[in-house]
């Protein structure tokens, strides 16, 4: 398992306080994921894409790094006026 966050401070905290075998955290941008194509069986994104400047780019990156038949697990909030655009 690999966690990703834009904040080096958050990554350092998580690596220090969440020491679990097979779990690590790294810095990176969700709109330009620092991983090879077809790298993951699962991509999980929880309540962060609301603030991404380019959600479409993020979704393209998810598709790129997921292995065939991989899973994208996603939950977030949207402002009511943005729902139709987000669904499109």
> What's residue 19's pLDDT?
86
Q: Do 77 and 66 reside in the same domain of the chain? A: yes
> What's residue 41's pLDDT?
98
Q: Do 16 and 39 reside in the same domain of the chain? A: no
Mean pLDDT, residues 35-49: 96
Domain of residue 20, residue span: 1-29
Query: Which 3-state string (H, E, C) describes the chain?
Result: CEEEECCHHHHHHHHHHCCCCCCEEEECECCECCCCCCCEEEEEEECCHHHCCCHHHHHHHHHHHEEEEEEEEEECCCCHHHHHHHHC
- Express each pLDDT in 66-84 by its tens digit: 999 999 999 998 888 988 8
Mean pLDDT, residues 6-31: 95
Q: Do 22 and 43 reside in the same domain of the chain? A: no
> What's residue 68's pLDDT?
97
Q: Do 25 and 61 reside in the same domain of the chain? A: no
């Amino acid at each position: 398992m690999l966690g990703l966050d834009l904040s080096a401070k958050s990554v350092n905290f998580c690596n220090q306080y969440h020491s679990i075998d097979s779990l690590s955290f790294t810095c990176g941008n969700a709109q330009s994921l620092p991983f090879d194509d077809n790298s993951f069986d699962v991509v999980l994104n929880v309540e962060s894409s609301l603030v991404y400047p380019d959600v479409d780019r993020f979704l393209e990156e998810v598709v790129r790094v997921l292995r065939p038949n991989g899973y994208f697990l996603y939950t977030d909030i949207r402002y009511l006026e943005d729902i139709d655009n987000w669904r499109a």
